[in-house]
Structure formats: C-alpha cells, structure tokens
C-alpha cells in the first residue's frame, strides 16, 4: 500500500514507458478468491476470465445496469460481493462507483440512506442484517432524517436468509422517502458463482405469506436443479433437496485442492452448493443447509472450526462442544448457540463453571468477532451422537427450539446472576437508556441487565468499550466520555452518575489506577502496563477474576489532554506506589507487570517494602531485570512499529521489515505510513487516527527513553517469573541467560513458570484462557505460602 503523495513522487521521478498489453484466454485464471473469509480453513476458488465475463454480462442484463447508473458499496474487499458485484460489475458497464468505508455504515446504519441520497445511487447491496439495523435505528430516532430515495432502482440483499417481515418493514419505513415497493431484491450467490447469480425480483408480493423470502430466478446462462442430497438424481418441483448449479459463471474448482474440487461436484458436473431448497414455478427457495455452519450478519462460520477451538479449552470434555445456529422468529440474522460439557471438577464448582462460561464466550468473540447468543452447559448424555461419535447438531437445534433445554438455560442464567451479585433494576431515564445500549451491544434483553453489573463481567471486550463510547455520544448529544472514564465506571449506575452530573472525567486529576474488575474478597491484583503505556491488554484477563479478587491496572501518564508524561523511572514508580496505597492502604499486596511493566512493578514493590508493607506476590511477565540493552535497540521507528504491531495495525511479518523502510522518511511520513497500512476497520475499532496514533507513539517513545536510563538495584522478598517464547532466540536460552538474572534481585529464589504463546501473544485470543489459569494458580499458591509459611499441600 502506498499513499497518494508517495505515488505522486514516484511518478515524477519515473520515465514514461510503454507497457505491453497482457492477453488472456477465457480459461485462464483471473482471480483466486478465498472462501470462508477469516473463518476456518479457506479454499482458493478459481475464477477464470470466462467465469467473470459471463457473470458480469448476465448480471448487467438482469439488473439493466448501464453507464448512467451510480452504484454504492460499503462491503470490505475480502468479500466476493464487493469485488465482483460492487466493483467489477459497474466497471464493466462504465457506471459511477461510490465506495464507503464499512465502519462508516455499521457505526451509523442510517448513514447508508444518506449516502444513497447524496450521490443519487441507483443500485447497492445490503445484507438482511443491515436492513434490520436500519429499521431499528429509524424506530429509535426522535426525528428521523428525510433522505430522497426515489433514485434507487434496486437493493441487492444476499449473504443470509431474508425474513419477509424485515424486508417489508424496511420497505414500509422508507416508502415515504420515495423508495419503490419492488426495490428490494433478495438474492443468492457464492464465491464459486462469482457472487450474486440468483435474484428475487418479485419480492415482496410473491413472498408475503412466507416467513423467509425466496431467492428467485437465475441470471441468463445459469441452470438450477434440486437433487437428492449427494446424488445427481433430480427431484420433482416442490420437493426439498440439495441445490445444484451449472453455468459459465460457475467455478471449475479450487486451486491445488483436488479432494475439495471432487467433493464439490456431482458425477455429471453440477456444482453442489451445500444448501437445501425447493423449486416452484422456476423460483428457488432455500430451506436449510447440508453443511454444518452458522450465518451471522451475512458471514458463514463453520461449526467444526468453532468447535475445534473450544475443544482445546481447559475445563471442557473433549469432543463435547457443539456450535449450531438458532433463529428466533422475527430475528434479522441467525444466532450462535454453543453447547458444551464441563469436566466433573468444573461442573461441581460454580465459580469455575462461571469462568469457563467466560472463556467460551470470549474465545468466540476474540476469534470471530461476535458473541454466542446462548451458552449451554449440558451433561454428556445430553449430546446426541451418531454411531461414529459425530454430534447431531441439527437434532440439538430442534431440541433447543422445542424447549427441551429450557431447564438448563434457566439454570445457567441463575448461575450468572448469582456470580454477578444478583439483579438490580435500572432506575431513571439515563440508566434505562444505558441498559438499552448494553442490550444492543450484548444482544440481550435490556430488562435482564443489572444496573450494577460490570461491563466486562457481562461480556464486554476492549473493542466494545469503543463501541459503547460511540453509542453514548449518539444517544446523549454533547456527552463525550473518555475511554478511561468508561473503564473506571463500568456499570450502568456508575456511568449514569457521570452523565447526570456532567462529570465526564476528561479534566479529572490523573489517577493511574484503572479498576477493571472490582468484585471478590481476595487480595487485589495490580498489573502495570507494558511499554505502550495503555491497559486495554488486561481487559480480557481481568474478567477471569470475577468474584475472586479485584483486578486493577496501572496506566501511564500523558494520554489525556494536559497530562505531562513522567520524566524519570523513579517518578513513575513513586506515583504508582502512592496510587496503589490510596486504593489499598495496607498490604499484603499482589503486583504484576507485563513486559516493560515488570521492571516498574519491581520498583514499586521495593518502595512498598521500604514502607514496612508486605508484597506477597510479585509477577514478572516475560521480562528480565536488565532492560537497558533492549531499550537502546528501540529508536523511535522501532517503538512506533512495535506499537502498531501491538495494536494489530500491522502484522508480525510487516513489523520485521518496516523499520528499515521507514527510517529514511521524515517522522510525520513514518507515522502516516503506519496508519495507512492499518485496516480501516481496525482503526475504527480503536477510535484511532493519525493524530491520536502520533500522540501515543510519542508517549511510548518517552517510556522507552526512561527504560534506557534504568539499572535495577536492591531486592524484593520474592518473585514469580512467567516465561513465554521471546522475541529472539529459544525459550530455554531466554530463561537461563536472561530471566534467571532476577535471582540477583530477590531474597528468595524466584519461581519460574512456563506459559504458552509468544511475548506479544500470551494474552491474546489463543492463549489468554491458558494464561489466566496459570496466573491465578500461581497467585493463589504465593498467597498461601506467605500466609501459612509452607507450601500448599504440606
């Protein structure tokens, strides 16, 4: 990726030369498009020039698309619909294209209508979930906008099933703004068919009595048949069977995957879609799938991919995790249900089972970006299996929807309520509105959300904080709560108090202590930030301590306007020690530091011990005592690149090559390039732009500078050292030659604990469930040892 300025400079320095025109045959591969997006094991679909040309010609004819049209796309380009339907199709006829960032529409669905009006769009694409979001947004707005939609000829709606009620509701709400009654076209397409290939141009009149809309009739050249599943035997009209397709726009198979290609086609050459449907009067209606998957917001997630991750979670019986869809009547999209059998030890311990529920929920959120609608702990005998041991997901879905699991669902709801301290109803309009926002974020009934439950205890993630921040500013005009305020006031009641008093916290005195989890009677744990200064890395860890012990994080000074960064390591340690004592006046204390933060935690522990306090637990998370040599290696560019990698703005591979590329550039261009490389959706999730990233990089560079002056000295009573795979070299060398140097600075021999993952990933989605278990066990053992003076079990 390059900025416009970089391209302009390159053009000015480059001689104009003639480039030979490439030629291609119809059977030559034009595109390799991955199926499944970011889920599961992707296959590369071969789309030839012939496939694309046939598809584009057929689409253009079906949609009557010409150079006079204006199209609008907001779908990201990792989806075939964006590439073919929304880009190549208008390009093929010379139509005008309007490209909008996905986050601009998802954050404000009504913006979609405003874009149509502003650019006089004639054709666009909107999955059913967006139609539902627009319906909900319009119903919530006290004064809805009044866009002129008379220009819009049709909206293609594919990617998931279209409930008739949602579509008709959409048309009814927008009819006053000029939207034609026949403008909504439910559709069907796959990567393997060059996106949309079947359109329902008769919606809604022909579908009015059905629950779900038909997907309609095929484009020219595409043939449809419904056959007995797994065979080439056609069924009579109206019978349900496997939908199979044939035509010049259908792929010939998958790149370098003979097995998958053979499985995708019948013996007589028809492509097997994996969907079940019926043909009546030439119109296709889908009724289910032969493949086990869940479609959430238009994205297909394979059940076995979700289950394979959950199967590795500690506390779940192997081969007893099932992921399957449910779709409550009237819902705009399918919802995910995760059923699992807990091990006997976990099932017998309510707190442990609650932690496992958190782990399951967070694994889905962190890997796939959405929450399960239902978590269902079941005994092993409640999982129907075939003679070969395969869980019968479709049977479990039928049992769920028939009410067979009602008792189990009620039991888990009661368990969660007890663990969160019971239900306290919201009081007043502000709390009621916040409950609605929490319900929107967590796909929950607002009446079930307690006003005193913590945001993270309910399932919130670090990204949800930013979504909540945007929602609050939308529902409460003029209120702009800093992220730190939301972190420090995570319940509905606490946030309502901030809003009602007008005390946003933006101008509050600096307090490094951020309470991420405040329930529990155990010794509180204070965790010091890594070298980036921020504490969001601890959010997903803190929720595992619910009802066990409070979890506080320490955040660097300098993020808020007017805050002056620390000028010395000693000043930072002193500020943190004072803040900890303000929160917990007397010991015993439990401290930990991640990476750079471990050195700070060591200095804080020394200060507390010098004041006569006990520090019963001090954890160094993958940091040796001597950090100056590493800090000396980190110039501003390395620090900025590490920050970008830490925030998932660039990949680990990019981080390895970027410093050399960026060093010759001026600082502003270095930072601009890093932000330009970041996925726009990730920037939106983090509420980050160039100005904010620049300020953050400057703060991180300042902390690096403090590290260059740091030399450890003195000692603490004890330490637990957590060893992950280092940035360079082997884990054993890292342990023997670096981490064990802590023995020079502790009065007792440190304990060394191996943890999975690498330095930057040990608290990430893949490893956080394992790390929390190891950390909690070591913390408990350390506190028992110091309180009793003996090892556990003695």
CATH topology of domain 439-508: 1.10.1200
How far apart CA 63 and CA 272 sit, in angstroms, is 26
Q: Locate 158 and state its tokens.
A: 């594919």
Kindly report, residue by residue over 247-280, the tens digit of the pLDDT. 999 999 999 999 999 999 999 999 999 888 899 9
Domain boundaries, the chain: 29-289, 293-419, 439-508, 510-622+715-794, 630-708
510-622+715-794 matches 29-289 in CATH topology: yes
Alpha helices in 121-223 (DSSP H): 128-140, 164-174
pLDDT interval class at 12 (50, 70, 90): low
Residue-wise burial string across 456-488, b where 16 or more C-beta atoms lie within 10 A, e elsewhere: bbbbbbbbbbbbbbebbeebeeebebbbbbbbb
Expressed in percent and rounded to 5, the helix, strand and coil fractions of the chain are: 45, 20, 40
Closest to 129 (Cα-Cα) out of 102, 147, 97: 102
Q: Is the pLDDT of residue 9 over 70?
A: no
What Rg value do the Cα atoms of the chain yield, rounded?
29
Angle, helix 636-646 to helix 652-662, in steps of 10 degrees:
160
Q: Which residues are part of the catalytic machinery?
A: 595
pLDDT interval class at 16 (50, 70, 90): low
Task: Pick 510-622+715-794's CATH classification: 3.40.640.10, 3.40.50.1820, 2.102.10.10, 3.40.50.800.
Answer: 3.40.50.1820
Task: Provide the β-strand partners of residue 125.
Answer: 156
Closest to 779 (Cα-Cα) out of 717, 722, 716, 738: 722
* H or E segment and range at residue 105: helix 102-106
Closest to 195 (Cα-Cα) out of 249, 135, 130, 259: 249
* H or E segment and range at residue 5: helix 4-12
How far apart CA 502 and CA 481 sit, in angstroms, is 10
Q: Is the pLDDT of residue 1 over 50?
A: no
Q: Residue 506 has what pLDDT? A: 54
In the chain, the percentage of residues whose pLDDT exceeds 70 is 91
Q: Is the pLDDT of residue 420 over 80?
A: no
**Do 158 and 189 form a contact (C-beta atoms < 8 A)?**
yes
Q: Is the pLDDT of residue 302 over 80?
A: no
Q: Residue 536 has what pLDDT? A: 82
**Do 559 and 515 form a contact (C-beta atoms < 8 A)?**
no
Q: Residue 548 has what pLDDT? A: 86
- Superfamily for 293-419? ANL, C-terminal domain (3.30.300.30)
Q: Is the peptide bond before 204 cis (omega within 30 degrees of 0)?
A: yes
Q: How many CB atoms lie within 10 A of CB 400?
A: 19
Long-range contacts of 41-47 (CB under 8 A, 24+ apart): 41/305, 43/254, 43/255, 43/257, 43/260, 44/254, 44/255, 44/256, 44/257, 45/191, 45/192, 45/251, 45/254, 45/255, 46/251, 46/252, 46/253, 46/254, 46/255, 47/194, 47/251
Give the burial class of 338: count Cβ atoms within 10 A of its Cβ; 0-12 exposed, 13-18 middle, 19 or more buried: buried
In the chain, the percentage of residues whose pLDDT exceeds 90 is 50
**Do 515 and 478 form a contact (C-beta atoms < 8 A)?**
no
SS3 readout for 435-485: HHHHHHHHCCCHHHCCCCCCCCCCCCCHHHHHHHHHHHHHHCCCCCCCHHH
pLDDT interval class at 577 (50, 70, 90): very high
* H or E segment and range at residue 652: helix 652-662
Q: Which CATH architecture has domain 29-289?
A: 3-Layer(aba) Sandwich (3.40)
- pTM exceeds cut of 0.95: no
**Do 694 and 89 form a contact (C-beta atoms < 8 A)?**
no
């Amino acid at each position: 990726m390059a900025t416009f300025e970089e391209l302009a400079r390159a053009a000015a320095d480059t001689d104009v030369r003639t480039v030979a025109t490439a030629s291609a045959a119809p059977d030559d591969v034009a595109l390799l498009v991955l199926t499944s997006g970011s889920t599961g094991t992707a296959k590369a679909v071969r789309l030839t020039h012939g496939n694309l040309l046939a598809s584009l010609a057929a689409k253009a004819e079906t949609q009557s698309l010409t150079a006079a049209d204006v199209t609008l796309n907001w779908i990201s380009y990792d989806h075939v619909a964006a590439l073919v339907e929304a880009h190549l199709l208008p390009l093929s006829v010379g139509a005008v294209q309007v490209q909008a960032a996905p986050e601009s529409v998802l954050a404000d669905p009504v913006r979609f209508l405003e874009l149509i009006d502003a650019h006089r769009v004639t054709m666009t694409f909107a999955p059913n979930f967006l139609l539902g979001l627009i319906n909900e947004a319009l119903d919530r707005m006290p004064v809805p906008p009044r866009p002129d939609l008379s220009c819009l000829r049709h909206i293609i709606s594919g990617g998931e099933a279209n409930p008739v009620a949602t579509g008709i509701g959409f048309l009814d709400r927008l009819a006053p703004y000029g939207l034609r009654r026949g403008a909504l076209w439910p559709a069907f397409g796959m990567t393997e068919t060059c996106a949309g290939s079947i359109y329902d141009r008769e919606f809604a009149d022909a579908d009015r009595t059905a629950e779900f809309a038909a997907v309609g009739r095929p484009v020219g050249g595409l043939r449809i048949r419904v056959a007995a599943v797994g065979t080439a035997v056609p069924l009579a009209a109206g019978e349900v069977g496997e939908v199979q397709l044939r035509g010049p726009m259908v792929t010939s198979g998958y790149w370098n995957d003979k097995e998958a290609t053979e499985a995708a086609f019948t013996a007589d050459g028809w492509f097997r879609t994996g969907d079940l449907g019926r043909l009546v009067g030439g119109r296709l209606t889908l009724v289910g799938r032969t493949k086990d998957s869940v479609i959430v917001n238009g994205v297909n997630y394979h059940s076995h991919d979700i289950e394979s991750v959950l199967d590795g979670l500690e506390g779940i019986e192997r081969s007893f995790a099932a992921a399957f869809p449910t779709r409550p009547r009237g819902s705009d999209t399918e919802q995910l249900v995760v059923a699992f059998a807990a091990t006997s030890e976990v099932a017998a311990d309510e707190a442990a089972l609650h932690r496992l529920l958190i782990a399951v929920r967070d694994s889905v959120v962190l890997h796939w970006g959405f929450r399960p609608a239902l978590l269902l702990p079941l005994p092993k005998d409640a999982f129907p299996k075939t003679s070969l041991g395969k869980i019968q997901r479709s049977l479990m879905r039928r049992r769920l929807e028939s009410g067979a699991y009602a008792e189990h669902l009620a039991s888990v709801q009661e368990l969660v309520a007890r663990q969160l301290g019971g239900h306290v109803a919201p009081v007043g309009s502000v709390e009621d509105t916040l409950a609605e926002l929490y319900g929107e974020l967590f796909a929950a009934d607002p009446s079930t959300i307690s006003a005193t439950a913590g945001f993270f205890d309910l399932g919130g993630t670090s990204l949800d904080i930013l979504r909540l921040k945007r929602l609050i500013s939308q529902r409460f005009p003029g209120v702009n709560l800093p992220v730190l305020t939301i972190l420090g006031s995570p319940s509905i009641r606490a946030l309502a108090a901030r809003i009602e008093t007008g005390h946003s916290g933006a101008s509050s005195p600096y307090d490094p202590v951020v309470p991420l989890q405040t329930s529990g009677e155990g010794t509180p744990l204070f965790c010091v930030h890594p070298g980036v200064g921020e504490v969001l890395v601890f959010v997903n860890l803190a929720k595992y301590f619910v009802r066990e012990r409070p979890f506080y994080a320490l955040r660097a000074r300098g993020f808020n306007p007017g805050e002056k960064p620390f000028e010395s390591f000693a000043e930072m340690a002193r500020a943190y020690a004072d803040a900890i004592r303000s929160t917990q006046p007397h010991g015993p204390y439990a401290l930990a530091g991640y990476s750079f933060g471990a050195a700070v935690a060591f200095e804080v522990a020394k200060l507390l011990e010098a004041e006569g306090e006990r520090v019963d637990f001090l954890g160094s998370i993958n940091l040796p005592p001597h950090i100056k040599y590493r800090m000396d290696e980190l110039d501003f560019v390395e620090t900025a690149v590490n920050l970008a990698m830490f925030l998932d703005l660039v990949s680990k591979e990019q981080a390895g090559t970027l410093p050399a590329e960026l060093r010759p550039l001026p600082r502003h261009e270095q930072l601009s390039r890093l932000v330009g490389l970041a996925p726009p959706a990730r920037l939106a999730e983090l509420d980050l732009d160039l100005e904010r990233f620049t300020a953050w990089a400057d703060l991180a560079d300042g902390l690096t500078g403090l590290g260059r002056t740091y030399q450890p000295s003195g000692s603490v009573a004890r330490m637990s050292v957590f060893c992950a795979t280092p940035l360079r070299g082997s884990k054993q060398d890292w342990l023997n030659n670096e981490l064990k140097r802590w023995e020079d600075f502790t009065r007792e021999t440190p304990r060394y604990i191996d943890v999975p993952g690498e330095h930057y990933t040990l608290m990430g989605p893949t490893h956080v469930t394992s790390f929390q278990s190891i950390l909690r066990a070591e913390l408990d053992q350390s506190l028992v040892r110091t309180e009793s003076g003996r090892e556990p079990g003695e």
